[in-house]
Structure 1
């Protein structure tokens, strides 16, 4: 890593050679240019090298040393990317042995937080550099096998030694499905061909507790010392370097590979690249991997018994209607597309979730579209020969600029809705960079007081549900916006904590369930401990950049902490499973908890499933959380 940090102060004079002499200079091997560190010792210098063209893409090509000509050093890469800006010359044909000149660059690809490792590449300039064909139809170098042993050091740079080289993963286990670009108006998607996997046999990666290591490793020495002194309790999340990002459309001629999580692909072959803080394999266009197996993550959830009630949280993801509402920048969905979305959600609620008694929903445009959804579910249930659940919709408009709101679907065939009330709509705060106070709660918490009748006694079992949709991570690590975003997330968490504490103090017997999309993990990320603050267990002052006081007593319980670690995810981001959708309950409700889990219907499935109205998968990008509560408290033993 020392070489990486040296880049910040390293400067070298540009050295250019006239076109007449570009092939007169001494040639360097690709491995010599790459070196055994992150950055090349020849950065910004003009070089000459040769190799076999192994792959092409829209703005360059990959070059690799022929087999038998390598330097026998396992720490140096024998491949390199040659950047041409425009489509590369026909002289750089796959299988041709060529000699080139160009300038060595350390290119930093896109990353979610702006901090990323560089890619060593050679930039060719049309008015200066040329390609010389040495031989055609040369066999491509044999791909290097990627195994679990390559990740034993848990290093961010472990695969640097393969950068630009042909590689093969004998068995790749897909941990996050193929993504795509969603057209919400049409309810269609265009596959982006990208997914994530690990070497078969390795564990599924999860977002761990702590500060993202990519926000730390690029700090200067003095910045690190200051960081550690001010926040000695902050732990680092290692980023899960065992993740492999797969791009099936990354090379010329590629076709999308659409796969679900749980799929095993055999002999996945391509070129090792780097993007979005992840080593990335650009798959060979002509060598599509075979599917060697599939382990479904779907578990059919049970229906609540007559002595239970089920409560769920669903992120409907941009659930807009087909009506143009003035003053709102919403998507005006085509009628057929809306019908398809409603059919997918209805299938999920009826078949995958077994019609929970209360569903807290987020990202619904208005009460009218939520009522249409309720009517659709009710009608479909009757058509399928099931009892009419008589779902009723409740929603209050909030402050969101796109018009998405929180609401409820209440199964009135069994549940009595006593009160629905919104909190904090008019709450404002002074946001850094804003000339006036802004709304704290874009989607204010919506509270439902309800009851279920005991079938034996007829007595009502009262409970309260609060549905939440807190500030997203957008701008969380953007230097221009992060102060405002982080403050808002902290204040939202504190507002919710105070709301619950006020109710607990007013009525210690009130049984409260908080659910929804909290846009935060079950642990501190080292920046803001949103969930810990809401629970009454905030991170220590020295263990988080934006600490909160303990505002809740007695503490709340997050039901996700009660399930197996392998099931603790409701969303996949960059190949990491993570929980954003929580169900947090007051301590007095814990004895009544009889189960909790996630309806595996979205996070593990490719975006290509979204347009298929006949199947429930991918109506959203979040899995639904569902909790089961008994009418009878568990007996405790002394």
Structure 2
């Protein structure tokens, strides 16, 4: 069965928060009991995202059971009115939270009495929309074996191209109180179908099966399609309205959830109730068996660097530490050797200390690094040397105790590292300029470690290299994550992105340092690379690039190849390699090497990138 991630806050707290907010906005009529003669499911759902009957008791609400959930913390069933009204904005289905295994069956005609609730998956502070439901129910069986109300079909014709309306500025940009316009906005359409029986036909997978037995498909096969089958997230105004999460109501002990990669096709389609959860929003919970056609997607392999080319890569290896299985080291190493063609320099992100998440003050990562470089040699790769600076214990964010940091690997047969003493966790590396040449005061070094921009985050690691007599400066970054940002289906529109504030400060610090190098030597070869944790079109990227100091190399690729990460049906950029003007002007080869993000079996959740150029 899928691991339950839907209800992570006690229901009483979540319901109270939404009811209080709705009362403050004047959306609730009161708390009296509504008579059975007056109330149908569409009366409960209403024409906005908040039920006009939230907090009230209802009696004898009729409907046909369309789905049952018997696993996780959100046990219950969905039922739907067989006699709908003529208002497209009012859903005819609703979830009944029973807390224990329901005693009803699909096709049962029932009446339900209980309290109308608005439950916010993940808690009100997460910004999610709420799920209208009936709690503390009393269920009466009327008859069994009835036909389930016909499913509403979701496809490229029925789902609008516009994603969401803007929020009400008088209500903190919330869309909760706005009348639904299902023919105009995709989120309004999905909300107008909340709890109802819906269907998607044969659909392409846009995010692979994950550990929670869920995948994403698109009902719009031509919407921002990537070359390999995903849906590209190319701007804040184009969220890919055809994306939809699919889970199954059939417990995995009875029928395993299918394993699918991006580009595969759910040939069976999927039919069942439309739910809403905190990890992706609207989710089709399939009642039917799911079958998938494997379209044979393979991990990419980049080309070898040519004579005179320096190859530099970045790779987030996802919390690598010696307690990980040897197979993870071996698979990551094989990717460096085979898929990345053994780059001359590799900037790694998320290398943990020698005992991983054990929080005992250890900060040294030499065991982690050696285990990785040994695995690379065993895979047929070069004997990389490494340079890094250990962080201050507990100050770099990430998994507690892990002390993640960036690490340079380099092939000493191809490139040399310029070791300049003086770099440590708290000393700022500066640029020393003389006679039109730039040098670092310390290599490896760290950029402005006392800057508040790096609080609970990773200070950039900077190194000076030499290739065929030319200096190359590499800045390895791992900017702060998007943790705390609201999801695309948030009740607040446009979606607040609070995490940007810190990344903007980080971007400015890297830009300033790059400009110091270019001030000393305007022809300097500089690369700022790593897990930027933001999109190529974001303000973060614009701030790193400001003044023409740097240029994001991924923009040299066709749009359909610009991604390094796959999240909730969107192929998107998080990792980047940015280059100084001299590299851009002389030309370069750039490749985002898709080996992880599109696959159910991953060695990391990020794809690596590589650039070849002639310094």
TM-score by length of 2: 0.76
The 8 Å contact of residues 107 and 144 in structure 2, kept in 1 or not, is answered as yes
| Structure 1: distance between partners of 2:481 and 2:537 | 16
RMSD: 2.9
Task: Report the alpha carbon displacement of residue 591 of structure 1 after superposing the two structures with TM.
Answer: 3.1
| Structure 2: distance between partners of 1:79 and 1:428 | 53
1:280 corresponds to 2:283:
yes
C-alpha spacing 1:111/1:592, structure 2 compared with 1 (3 Å)? farther
The 8 Å contact of residues 57 and 113 in structure 2, kept in 1 or not, is answered as yes
| Structure 1: distance between partners of 2:123 and 2:519 | 45
| Structure 1: distance between partners of 2:36 and 2:89 | 26
| Structure 2: distance between partners of 1:249 and 1:396 | 49
Task: Report the alpha carbon displacement of residue 251 of structure 1 after superposing the two structures with TM.
Answer: 6.8
1:344 aligned counterpart, secondary structure: helix
The 8 Å contact of residues 398 and 425 in structure 1, kept in 2 or not, is answered as no
1:626 aligned counterpart, secondary structure: strand
1:87 maps to what in 2?
100
1:130 aligned counterpart, secondary structure: strand
1:157 aligned counterpart, secondary structure: helix
The 8 Å contact of residues 250 and 282 in structure 1, kept in 2 or not, is answered as no
1:463 corresponds to 2:496:
no
1:418 corresponds to 2:427:
no
The 8 Å contact of residues 554 and 592 in structure 2, kept in 1 or not, is answered as no
Task: Report the alpha carbon displacement of residue 101 of structure 1 after superposing the two structures with TM.
Answer: 1.2
C-alpha spacing 1:113/1:262, structure 2 compared with 1 (3 Å)? farther
Task: Report the alpha carbon displacement of residue 441 of structure 1 after superposing the two structures with TM.
Answer: 7.5
Task: Report the alpha carbon displacement of residue 148 of structure 1 after superposing the two structures with TM.
Answer: 0.8
1:531 maps to what in 2?
541
Task: Report the alpha carbon displacement of residue 362 of structure 1 after superposing the two structures with TM.
Answer: 0.9
1:397 maps to what in 2?
390
C-alpha spacing 1:162/1:476, structure 2 compared with 1 (3 Å)? closer
C-alpha spacing 1:153/1:350, structure 2 compared with 1 (3 Å)? closer
For 1:504-555, what per-residue CA distance to the aligned partner results, in whole angstroms no more than 9, with x for missing partners? 111222101111111122223xxxx32211111xxxxxxxxxxxxxxx4x43
1:233 maps to what in 2?
none
2:126 aligned counterpart, secondary structure: coil
| Structure 2: distance between partners of 1:565 and 1:586 | 22
The 8 Å contact of residues 423 and 444 in structure 1, kept in 2 or not, is answered as yes
- Say which of 174, 179, 195 aligns to 2:215: 195
The 8 Å contact of residues 247 and 284 in structure 2, kept in 1 or not, is answered as yes
Task: Report the alpha carbon displacement of residue 51 of structure 1 after superposing the two structures with TM.
Answer: 1.6
Task: Report the alpha carbon displacement of residue 119 of structure 1 after superposing the two structures with TM.
Answer: 2.6
The 8 Å contact of residues 56 and 251 in structure 1, kept in 2 or not, is answered as no
2:120 maps to what in 1?
108
| Structure 2: distance between partners of 1:573 and 1:246 | 14
- Say which of 23, 29, 32 aligns to 1:12: 29
1:362 maps to what in 2?
349
The 8 Å contact of residues 427 and 441 in structure 1, kept in 2 or not, is answered as no
For 1:127-186, what per-residue CA distance to the aligned partner results, in whole angstroms no more than 9, with x for missing partners? xx522111122233332221111222421212223221222211221111222xxxxxxx
Moved more, 105-114 or 555-564: 105-114
1:621 corresponds to 2:573:
no
2:129 maps to what in 1?
117
1:444 corresponds to 2:456:
no
| Structure 2: distance between partners of 1:310 and 1:271 | 50
C-alpha spacing 1:9/1:251, structure 2 compared with 1 (3 Å)? farther
The 8 Å contact of residues 464 and 513 in structure 1, kept in 2 or not, is answered as yes
1:176 corresponds to 2:214:
no
Task: Report the alpha carbon displacement of residue 315 of structure 1 after superposing the two structures with TM.
Answer: 0.3
C-alpha spacing 1:202/1:119, structure 2 compared with 1 (3 Å)? farther
Task: Report the alpha carbon displacement of residue 45 of structure 1 after superposing the two structures with TM.
Answer: 3.0
For 1:54-78, what per-residue CA distance to the aligned partner results, in whole angstroms no more than 9, with x for missing partners? 2112421100234xx4345544432
2:429 maps to what in 1?
none
2:377 maps to what in 1?
378
1:349 maps to what in 2?
336
| Structure 1: distance between partners of 2:249 and 2:319 | 27
Task: Report the alpha carbon displacement of residue 417 of structure 1 after superposing the two structures with TM.
Answer: 1.9
Task: Report the alpha carbon displacement of residue 444 of structure 1 after superposing the two structures with TM.
Answer: 2.1
The 8 Å contact of residues 313 and 347 in structure 2, kept in 1 or not, is answered as yes
C-alpha spacing 1:12/1:511, structure 2 compared with 1 (3 Å)? same
| Structure 2: distance between partners of 1:600 and 1:206 | 14
Gaps of 5+ in 1: 18-23, 180-190, 211-236, 322-332, 382-387, 432-438, 454-459, 537-551, 610-617, 632-638
| Structure 1: distance between partners of 2:250 and 2:450 | 47
| Structure 2: distance between partners of 1:441 and 1:40 | 41
| Structure 1: distance between partners of 2:475 and 2:50 | 51
Q: Where do residues 425-440 of structure 1 align in structure 2 (5 Å cutoff)?
A: 426-429=449-452, 440=455
| Structure 2: distance between partners of 1:602 and 1:106 | 38
Moved more, 131-140 or 253-262: 253-262
Task: Report the alpha carbon displacement of residue 449 of structure 1 after superposing the two structures with TM.
Answer: 2.1
1:491 corresponds to 2:502:
no
C-alpha spacing 1:471/1:140, structure 2 compared with 1 (3 Å)? same
1:151 aligned counterpart, secondary structure: coil
| Structure 1: distance between partners of 2:191 and 2:141 | 28
Q: Where do residues 535-614 of structure 1 align in structure 2 (5 Å cutoff)?
A: 535-536=545-546, 552=547, 554-606=548-600, 609=601
For 1:410-450, what per-residue CA distance to the aligned partner results, in whole angstroms no more than 9, with x for missing partners? 12221222233212364143x9xxxxxxx547422222222
For 1:550-601, what per-residue CA distance to the aligned partner results, in whole angstroms no more than 9, with x for missing partners? xx4x432110111111211111222222211100000011133332121211
For 1:176-228, what per-residue CA distance to the aligned partner results, in whole angstroms no more than 9, with x for missing partners? 1222xxxxxxxxxxx20122221152324444445xxxxxxxxxxxxxxxxxx
| Structure 2: distance between partners of 1:27 and 1:251 | 37
For 1:5-57, what per-residue CA distance to the aligned partner results, in whole angstroms no more than 9, with x for missing partners? 8983223322248xxxxxx8426332343344433333333322112212112
C-alpha spacing 1:149/1:6, structure 2 compared with 1 (3 Å)? farther
C-alpha spacing 1:89/1:339, structure 2 compared with 1 (3 Å)? closer
The 8 Å contact of residues 106 and 120 in structure 1, kept in 2 or not, is answered as yes
1:299 corresponds to 2:306:
no
C-alpha spacing 1:369/1:118, structure 2 compared with 1 (3 Å)? closer
2:312 maps to what in 1?
311
C-alpha spacing 1:306/1:111, structure 2 compared with 1 (3 Å)? farther
1:520 maps to what in 2?
534
